[in-house]
């Protein structure tokens, strides 16, 4: 019962990664590396589509976690303080993301028709300038460096506060967070347009950035939910993270499930209704042959099933139900990105084999390793945050 | 806790939030069922302390939402397919994507209005000029009210219990 939660004894001991987790993440990175080298030599087209999908999947989690931290600071939220470190751990992928982004530039000529001078003249008007390679790379680099810089500011201040307990750092982070949200809104939109929408450079959708964003935040909440379930009663932390935090992250997960469906439908309905050739090509590609199944799977497993499952209060407070839904959402986030990338290259026949699995596993290994290192080096809870008492007393009423 | 009708009883007035929270728990543990806690603002943990069960309102909302969804489907189907079929842009008469906004809005409308209506019914609102125990209960004091028809009610016992729990004042209430 919640009322008794308040009197839980607080315990915080340094994180020691289970040996199996360490070995798994090493093995994952190794498998990913082998797949990458193999693909680079043998099957570059397939490698780069797979690389792009998995790369964006993990970038979405890292920047999504950054956004979670930022909006909680901006809203001066107290309840989320004790789980903020979990989100901060997810942002530890960002330095890797910078390197992975530079690697992706190598693959531009396999992925984007605008990167090939022979095809670039097919673009018209303003798009010629917007999709000039130097301009795309410039925006891309600004996004990656900007995220890294804001992470350095916000997460850096949060970690400093663990030692000094200085309240001023929270006020500083409020300003940094507002800055990040503005930066994120503009540059993530362009990032998703540049990397995903421009795979089909003749296609237009003004809501596209928001579509990728909504899926990213939904997936971020799923990862947070899994971490909370795993860590709330672990041997490292006790009492700081409770069922109440799990419930609220579950609510966010459900909320962003609805938000994703809302945005996805808004994009679809307007294009379907207006029926203009340069807009409908996107959906025509995805409604032919094998892609129909994937499109409907998105509707059912990314919206209907998680939404109905998370509707009852008890579902969000039940560990196995919440983890089950979270895993489903993460799988569907991959399918969603896959659905955005692959139909541009493989007409009518979804391709999925070890090229996709290997690269995904490799990135998962990098992501896990980043989190393990972060938790080993830092406290698992922001112990000296001035709003900690609110998080400890957090209680969700009926 | 919904009282059937106005009843007399005994109220203990407390000055601290923590006191009233503990008092509510103790009163429940002493076997009282129909008592009520009156606070100027929502007190965290009060539902558990008073043993209040979760409200049935979410079920009303859900069922009303489903009814609203079906109503929206019926409305769009009736108007666009059976009553007045019009060919719009060569699309089929029954074009679900175009109907979804209407179905969605009606789902929300039904769910929201029925929830409010159900809330009014369950809380017996509006109450015109309800009896008050103490006017300070809307600003800075807290009360536990035990009605005289509660299980094991006796004036001495209740007065002693509330005093022991730290009530600043214990008073007889003619009707609440």
- The three-state (H, E, C) secondary structure of B65-78, written as one string: HHHHHHHHHHHHHH
pTM: 0.90
> Is the pLDDT score of B15 beyond 50?
yes
Q: pLDDT at position A8, please?
A: 61
Residue pair A388/A93 in contact (Cβ under 8 Å)? The answer is no
Q: pLDDT tier at A40 (50, 70, 90 boundaries)? A: very high
More confident residue, B89 or A157: A157
> Is the pLDDT score of B153 beyond 60?
yes
Cα A247 from Cα A229, distance rounded (Å): 10
CA nearest neighbour of A341 among A330, A331, A352: A352
Tokens of A149: 């810089």
Q: Is the backbone peptide bond immediately before B126 cis, with ω within 30 degrees of 0?
A: yes
Q: How far is A398 from chain B (nearest CA, A)?
A: 6
Residue pair B142/B15 in contact (Cβ under 8 Å)? The answer is yes
CA gyration radius, chain A: 21
Q: Do A395 and B44 touch (CB under 8 A)?
A: yes
Of B45, B48, B98, the CB nearest to A273: B98
Q: What is the pLDDT of residues A210-245, one digit of tens each?
A: 999 999 999 999 999 999 999 988 889 988 999 999
Of A2, A272, A311, the CB nearest to B48: A2
Q: What is the pLDDT of residues A58-67, one digit of tens each?
A: 999 999 999 9
CA nearest neighbour of A347 among A286, A390, A270: A286
Q: pLDDT tier at A120 (50, 70, 90 boundaries)? A: low
> Is the pLDDT score of B1 beyond 60?
no
Which of A218-222, A246-250, B63-67, B132-136 has the weakest average pLDDT?
B132-136
Tokens of A3: 């009322």
Cα A325 from Cα A317, distance rounded (Å): 12
Residue to test with chain A: of B91, B97, B98, B107, most A Cβ within 10 A: B97
Tokens of A287: 């409604």
Nearest residue in chain A measured CA to CA from B25:
A3
| Region for residue A352 given its phi and psi (left: phi exceeds 0; alpha: psi -120 to 50; beta: otherwise) | beta
Q: Do B100 and A265 touch (CB under 8 A)?
A: yes
Listed by start position, the domains of chain B span 9-53+141-173, 57-122
CA nearest neighbour of A221 among A327, A73, A313: A327
Mean pLDDT, chain A, integer: 92
Of B48, B55, B58, the CB nearest to A1: B48
Look at the alpha carbons of A308, A311, A314, A320 in this order and tell me if their dihedral is positive or negative. positive
Which of A115-119, A377-381, B72-76, B119-123 has the weakest average pLDDT?
A115-119
Q: Do A273 and B55 touch (CB under 8 A)?
A: no
Q: How far is A186 from chain B (nearest CA, A)?
A: 28
Q: pLDDT at position A131, please?
A: 87
Cα A346 from Cα B143, distance rounded (Å): 70
**For range A141-163, the mean pLDDT:** 95
Q: What residues of chain A lie within 8 A of the CB of B89, using their CB?
A: 273, 275
Q: pLDDT at position A67, please?
A: 97
Cα A211 from Cα A333, distance rounded (Å): 12
Residue showing tokens 């429940």: B28
> Is the pLDDT score of A2 beyond 80?
no
**For range A355-368, the mean pLDDT:** 95
Cα A221 from Cα A87, distance rounded (Å): 9
> Is the pLDDT score of A353 beyond 50?
yes
**For range A19-41, the mean pLDDT:** 94
Q: Do A397 and B89 touch (CB under 8 A)?
A: no
CA nearest neighbour of B31 among B166, B154, B118, B126: B154
What ipTM was estimated for this complex? 0.82
> Is the pLDDT score of B42 beyond 90?
no
CA nearest neighbour of A358 among A36, A27, A23: A36
Which of A115-119, B1-5, B7-11 has the weakest average pLDDT?
B1-5
Q: pLDDT at position A146, please?
A: 96
Q: pLDDT tier at B5 (50, 70, 90 boundaries)? A: low
Residue to test with chain B: of A8, A273, A393, most B Cβ within 10 A: A273
Q: pLDDT at position A278, please?
A: 84
More confident residue, B100 or A290: B100
Q: pLDDT tier at B3 (50, 70, 90 boundaries)? A: very low
**Residue A182 CB burial class (10 angstroms; 0-12, 13-18, ≥19):** exposed
**For range A4-33, the mean pLDDT:** 84
Q: pLDDT tier at A124 (50, 70, 90 boundaries)? A: low
Q: Do B97 and A272 touch (CB under 8 A)?
A: yes
Question: What are φ and ψ of residue B32, in 5° steps?
Answer: -75, 145
Cα A14 from Cα B37, distance rounded (Å): 43
State the alpha helices, DSSP H only, in chain B: 17-29, 46-50, 57-77, 96-122, 155-164
Residue pair A273/B98 in contact (Cβ under 8 Å)? The answer is yes
More confident residue, A233 or B38: B38
> Is the pLDDT score of B65 beyond 80?
yes
Question: Which residues of chain B are at the A interface, by a Cβ-Cβ cutoff of 8 Å?
Answer: 21, 25, 42, 44-45, 47-49, 54-55, 58, 62, 89, 97-98, 100-101
The DSSP 8-state label assigned to residue B126 in this structure reads P
Cα A327 from Cα A216, distance rounded (Å): 14
Listed by start position, the domains of chain A span 12-392
Q: pLDDT at position B127, please?
A: 82
Q: What residues of chain A lie within 8 A of the CB of B97, using their CB?
A: 265, 268-269, 272-273
Of A3, A269, A273, the CB nearest to B49: A3
Contacts of A156 (CB under 8 A, 6+ apart): none
């Amino acid at each position: 019962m919640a009322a008794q939660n308040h009197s839980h004894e607080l315990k915080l001991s340094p994180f020691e990664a289970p040996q199996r987790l360490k070995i798994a993440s090493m093995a994952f990175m190794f498998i990913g590396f082998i797949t990458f080298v193999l693909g680079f030599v043998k099957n570059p087209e397939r490698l780069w589509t797979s690389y792009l999908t998995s790369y964006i999947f993990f970038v979405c989690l890292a920047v999504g976690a950054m956004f979670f931290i930022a909006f909680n600071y901006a809203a001066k939220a107290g309840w989320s303080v004790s789980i903020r470190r979990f989100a901060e751990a997810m942002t530890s992928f960002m330095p890797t993301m910078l390197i992975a982004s530079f690697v992706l530039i190598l693959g531009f000529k396999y992925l984007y028709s605008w990167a090939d001078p022979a095809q670039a003249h097919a673009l018209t008007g303003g798009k010629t300038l917007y999709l000039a390679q130097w301009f795309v790379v410039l925006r891309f680099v600004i996004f990656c460096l900007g995220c890294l810089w804001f992470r350095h500011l916000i997460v850096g201040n949060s970690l400093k506060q663990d030692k000094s307990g200085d309240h001023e750092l929270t006020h500083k982070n409020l300003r940094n967070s507002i800055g990040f949200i503005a930066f994120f809104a503009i540059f993530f939109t362009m990032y998703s347009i540049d990397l995903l929408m421009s795979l089909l450079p003749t296609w237009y959708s003004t809501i596209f950035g928001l579509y990728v964003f909504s899926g990213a935040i939904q997936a971020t909440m799923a990862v947070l939910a899994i971490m909370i379930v795993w860590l709330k009663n672990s041997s490292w932390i006790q009492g700081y993270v409770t069922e109440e935090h799990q419930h609220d992250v579950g609510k966010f997960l459900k909320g962003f499930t609805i938000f994703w469906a809302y945005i996805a439908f808004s994009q679809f309905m307007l294009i379907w209704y207006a029926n203009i050739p340069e807009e409908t090509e996107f959906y025509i590609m995805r409604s032919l042959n094998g892609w129909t199944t994937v499109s409907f799977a998105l509707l059912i497993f990314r919206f209907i099933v998680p939404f109905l499952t998370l509707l009852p209060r008890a579902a969000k407070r039940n560990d196995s139900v919440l983890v089950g839904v979270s895993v489903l959402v993460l799988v569907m986030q991959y399918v969603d990105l896959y659905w955005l990338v692959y139909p541009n290259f493989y007409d009518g026949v979804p391709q999925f084999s070890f090229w996709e699995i290997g690269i995904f596993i490799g990135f998962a290994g990098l992501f896990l390793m980043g989190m393990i290192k972060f938790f080993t080096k830092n406290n698992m809870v922001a112990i000296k945050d001035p709003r900690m008492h609110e998080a400890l007393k957090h209680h969700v009423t009926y | 806790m919904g009282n059937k009708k106005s009843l007399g009883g005994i109220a203990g007035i407390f000055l601290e939030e923590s006191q009233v929270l503990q008092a509510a728990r103790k009163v429940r543990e002493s076997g009282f069922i129909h008592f009520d806690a009156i606070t100027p603002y929502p007190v965290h943990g009060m539902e558990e302390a008073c043993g209040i069960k979760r409200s049935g309102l979410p079920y009303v909302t859900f069922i009303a939402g489903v009814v609203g969804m079906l109503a929206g489907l019926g409305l769009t189907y009736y108007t666009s397919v059976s009553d007045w079929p019009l060919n719009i842009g060569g699309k089929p008469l029954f074009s679900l994507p175009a109907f979804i906004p209407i179905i969605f809005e009606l789902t929300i409308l039904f769910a929201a209005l029925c929830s409010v209506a159900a809330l009014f019914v369950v809380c017996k609102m509006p109450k015109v000029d309800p009896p008050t125990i103490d006017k300070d209960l809307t600003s800075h004091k807290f009360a536990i009210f035990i009605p005289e028809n509660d299980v094991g009610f006796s004036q001495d016992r209740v007065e002693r219990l509330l005093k022991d729990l730290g009530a600043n004042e214990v008073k007889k209430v003619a009707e609440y």
